[in-house]
Amino acid sequence: MRTPIIAGNWKMNKTAAEAKEFLKELLPLLAGADCEAVVCPPAPLLSEVAKALQGSQVALGAQNVHWAENGAFTGEVSADMLLGLGVKYVIIGHSERRQYFGETDETVNKRALAAKGKGLTPIVCVGETLEEREAGKAVTLVQAQTAKALAGFTAQAAGEVIIAYEPIWAIGTGKTATAGDANEMCAAIRATVAEVFGTEAAAAVRIQYGGSMNAKNAQELMGMPDIDGGLIGGASLTLDFAKVVNYNK
Ligand code: PGA
């Protein structure tokens, strides 16, 4: 059985002081959750947030990682730096990085391979634009993104990653994919993992839905058979995140 996993992507929000205050209120509400909960603050807050998370069951995630060990890559962070701060998960290839920062399927793959190789668990993001959906290309495109992101992985490693299906038109817009549509795409992603890596990897891989997931729609989305979790943006910045994590209570 796949353990559900809900991750909060804070994006470029909160100062260290704000994060500390927020977590003081949030963490007690997450105690005893049935699923795995993760918070992904901006890189400069990781150290402060790691301290705050000590003694809780909430895991720490980062929002990006570079593929090189170290070197002249201004503005990037390495897997070892993240591991040194207690980071377990790392978001890779978020659509905002693809859209605004030149992230490609190839760099997503390099980051994911390096992260997994170092022992971080990648949360690899895939998803289509509204145009692509309306043109009927969404499934083919997302399946191709998935295969490219995981190129070079072993079946074992592929089964251990997390894939976040985030339709771009649903991110930060208040428009959520219907639970049926979201599940259909998550099933298509799982089918690609099965095709490339085999049925064992496909049964193990955890697939999240992301895009305006919130306290109101979490239960329905999480009830779908191929949706194993959520990647939460806006709703992860408030105490609503606790309601999403406790979707079944
Ligand atoms: P949203 O963001 O929940 O604000 O739509 C999700 C994401 O971008 O990961």
State the pLDDT at residue 115: 98
State the pLDDT at residue 13: 98
Pocket perturbation via mutation, ligand 1, pick of 90, 231, 240 by most ligand atoms within 8 A of CB: 231
Tell me, rounded to whole angstroms, the distance of Cα 231 from its chain centroid: 5
Which H or E run includes 184? helix 179-197
State the pLDDT at residue 70: 98
Query: What is the distance between the alpha carbons of residues 38 and 155, in angstroms, rounded to a whole number?
Result: 25
Burial class for 73, CB neighbours closer than 10 Å (0-12, 13-18, 19+): exposed
Q: What is the mean pLDDT of the chain?
A: 97
pLDDT tens digits, one per residue of 32-45: 999 999 999 999 99
Which H or E run includes 232? strand 229-232
- Helix then strand then coil, % of the chain, to nearest 5: 45, 15, 40
State the pLDDT at residue 1: 84
Question: Which ligand 1 atom lies nearest to the CA of residue 9?
Answer: 9
Nearest to 185 by CA among 137, 249, 218: 137
State the pLDDT at residue 47: 98
Structure tokens at 130: 């509204």
Contacts of residue 71, defined as CB under 8 A and 6 or more positions apart, other chains included, come to none
List, run by run, the mean pLDDT of 10-residue segments along the chain (249 residues): 96 98 98 96 98 97 98 98 98 97 98 98 97 96 98 98 97 92 98 98 98 96 98 98 96
Tell me, in angstroms, the distance from the centre of ligand 1 to residue 211's CA: 5
DSSP H helix total and E strand total for the chain: 12, 8
User: What is the pTM assigned to this prediction?
Assistant: 0.98
Identity (one letter) of the amino acid at 127? Answer: G
Structure tokens at 205: 């891989």
Query: What is the distance between the alpha carbons of residues 145 and 165, in angstroms, rounded to a whole number?
Result: 10
Which residues on neighbouring strands pair with residue 193, listed in sequence order? none
Tell me, in angstroms, the distance from the centre of ligand 1 to residue 56's CA: 24
Residues with CB under 6 A from ligand 1: 9, 166, 171-172, 210-213, 231-235
Question: Which ligand 1 atom lies nearest to the CA of residue 210?
Answer: 6
